[in-house]
């Protein structure tokens, strides 16, 4: 609990970015048509996804990391009580879990995930 569990890397081209990371690092990608999104698995360590919904670094928040928590709503309330802000409330990912996004005290956006 409370460790990084998922990383999203912004892209404008899922095929190109999947090929890039596969050829350089040996990551395996899988396209999820229903989300227009590709997940990736690394040989070891944290996996994640390539997202066309995020803005490429320099134009927006860049890479979005996720922290696994037991209760997203309670965590967002705690974040707000410590000077953070809810960016996206808890929302479902069917068959996977739930996500939410917050801005920390510096304005960095970080994701929350619960299975």
Whole-number Å distance between alpha carbons of 20 and 15:
9
- pLDDT of the residue at 58: 58
Mean pLDDT of 29-49: 94
Nearest 10 degrees: Cα torsion 20, 26, 27, 30: 80
pLDDT at 57 over 70: no
Q: Residue 66: CB partners within 8 Å, gap ≥ 6?
A: 4, 5, 6, 7, 8, 48, 99, 110, 111, 112, 113
pLDDT at 81 over 70: yes
> The pTM is what?
0.75
Mean pLDDT of 32-60: 86
Scanning the chain, the segments in alpha helix (DSSP H) are 14-25, 72-81
19: which 2 tokens? 């090929």
Percent of residues, the chain, with pLDDT higher than 90: 69
Mean pLDDT of 87-94: 96
Residue of 97 and 83 predicted with greater confidence: 97
**Distance, first Cα to last Cα, the chain:** 11
- pLDDT of the residue at 61: 62
Percent of residues, the chain, with pLDDT higher than 70: 95
């Amino acid at each position: 609990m409370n460790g990084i569990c998922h990383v999203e890397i912004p892209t404008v081209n899922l095929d190109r970015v999947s090929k890039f990371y596969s050829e350089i690092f040996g990551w395996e990608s899988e396209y999820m048509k229903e989300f227009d999104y590709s997940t990736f698995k690394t040989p070891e360590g944290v996996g994640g996804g390539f997202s066309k919904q995020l803005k490429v670094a320099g134009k927006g928040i860049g890479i979005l990391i996720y922290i696994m928590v037991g209760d997203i709503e309670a965590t967002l309330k705690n974040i707000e009580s410590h000077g953070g802000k809810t960016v996206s409330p808890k929302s479902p990912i069917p068959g996977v879990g739930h996500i939410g996004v917050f801005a920390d005290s510096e304005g960095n956006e970080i994701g929350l995930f619960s299975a």
